[in-house]
Amino acid sequence: MELKNAMLELLRRASTDLAPDVEKAIRQAHKNEDEGTSAKNVFGTIIENIELARKASTPLCQDTGSIICYVDFPVGESEKKYREALEWAAIEATKLQYLRPNAVDPITGKNTGNNIGINAPYMHFHQWDKPEVRVRVMLKGGGSENVGTQYRLPDAALKAGRDLKGVRKVIIDAVHKAQGYGCAPGIIGVGIGGDRVTSYALSKEQFFRALGEKSDNPELAKLEESLLDDLNKLKIGPMGFGGKTTVLGVNIGLQHRHPATYYVAISYTCWAYRRKTMIIKGSEVSYD
């Protein structure tokens, strides 16, 4: 197994091949919309694009996003090895047009042209007890990233208190404000608790949970289900054109908080929800 090439294949698949659970949700949403509406046509175009991207091995979306990578590895492995392999793969994937160059220096405005820069790609490392290595990658588009937001409860304007009722209110507010800007229908990742930073991190990690997979916490599972229903009542629809499907899923995670703080971070991802997992067991590599 050549790690560098496996990483390149992981990036190619993430960019060009939409995950099956997301595709299934989009096909269902297409069926639900009424004939002759803009919403129906938009879903038709989206499905055509999904099929073409997979067949032609070209990016689903021209904004191939920021590369965010999570590596879980056993004792004795080196972080450096995975970082070098991913950087090589990102450069190659950019040359092969699986990725658009998206690393820009904030001071000079200069694009590095190869997706490599300070903290780019961003990598999270985690040592675990299993013998295999798991590499999860997310390509996070800028448009949907811009509609992500964080609330500090209590929120006086929304009359949102420090409880799940308050959490529900701020999620509704965030999705209403997002309208079609983040390429609806979106998937909502929520992180409750922690600090400023970790609530956002938790919200984004929720995107690795499959659509329809319930939270382990029964209270959160109930909230996720009722929010999915309620958010679709907003009728924002695909692209914000109006329609029955505004979100495809709501995944909520929680962590303990400081007594003085109550953060709710909300991350939004577009329908072009690009994530892939690679498992390396000895010399065998599998992708999911």
Partner 1 sequence: MIKLKTPISEETARSLKVGDEVLLTGTIVTARDAAHKLMVEEKPDFIREHLFGSVIYHCGPVVKKDADGTYSFVAAGPTTSSREEPYQADVMEEYKVRAVIGKGGMGPKTADGLKKTGAVYLHAVGGAGSLIAKKVTSVDTVYKLEEFGTPEAFWVIQVEDFPCVVTMDSHGGSLHKDIMEMSGSIAKELMEK
Asked if 64 touches partner 1 (CB under 8 A), the answer is yes
Nearest residue (CB) to partner 1, 201 versus 241? 241
Asked if 286 touches partner 1 (CB under 8 A), the answer is no
In the complex, the smallest distance separating the C-beta of residue 143 from partner 1, rounded to whole angstroms, is 4
Which of these segments, 1-9, 47-55, 80-88, 200-208, binds partner 1 (CB under 8 A)? 47-55
- Cα distance between residue 204 and residue 251, in whole Å: 10
Q: How many residues bind partner 1 (CB under 8 A)?
A: 55
- Cα distance between residue 192 and residue 169, in whole Å: 13
Q: What residues does 187 pair with on adjacent strands?
A: 249, 269
Produce one character per residue of 133-152: b if its CB has 16 or more CB atoms within 10 Å, e if not: bbbbbbbbbebbbebbbbbe
Q: How many CA atoms lie within 13 A of 238 on its CB side?
A: 22
Residues 6+ apart with CB under 8 A from 21: 210, 211, 212
Residue from 45, 127, 217, 286 touching partner 1 (CB under 8 A): that is 45
SS3 109: coil
Residue from 60, 68, 86, 190 touching partner 1 (CB under 8 A): that is 60
Structure tokens at 102: 């998206």
Asked if 42 touches partner 1 (CB under 8 A), the answer is yes
- Cα distance between residue 43 and residue 53, in whole Å: 15
Asked if 154 touches partner 1 (CB under 8 A), the answer is no
Asked if 84 touches partner 1 (CB under 8 A), the answer is no
Q: Give the Cα-Cα-Cα angle 108, 269, 68 (nearest 5 degrees).
A: 55
Produce one character per residue of 26-46: b if its CB has 16 or more CB atoms within 10 Å, e if not: beebbeebeeebebbbbbeeb
The residue to which tokens 């329908």 are assigned: 271
Which of these segments, 4-12, 37-45, 251-259, 276-284, binds partner 1 (CB under 8 A)? 37-45
Binding residues among 123-152 for partner 1 as defined by CB under 8 A: 142-143, 146
In the complex, the smallest distance separating the C-beta of residue 125 from partner 1, rounded to whole angstroms, is 29
In the complex, the smallest distance separating the C-beta of residue 47 from partner 1, rounded to whole angstroms, is 10
- Cα distance between residue 241 and residue 246, in whole Å: 10
Nearest residue (CB) to partner 1, 88 versus 241? 241
Per-position x/- string for 107-126, each x denoting binding to partner 1 as judged by CB under 8 A, each - no binding: --xxx-x-------------
Asked if 234 touches partner 1 (CB under 8 A), the answer is yes
Asked if 241 touches partner 1 (CB under 8 A), the answer is yes
Where does this chain bind partner 1 (CB under 8 A)? 38, 41-42, 45-46, 48-49, 52-53, 56, 58-64, 97, 99-102, 104, 109-111, 113, 142-143, 146, 158-159, 168-169, 172-173, 176, 179-183, 230, 233-237, 239-242, 270-272
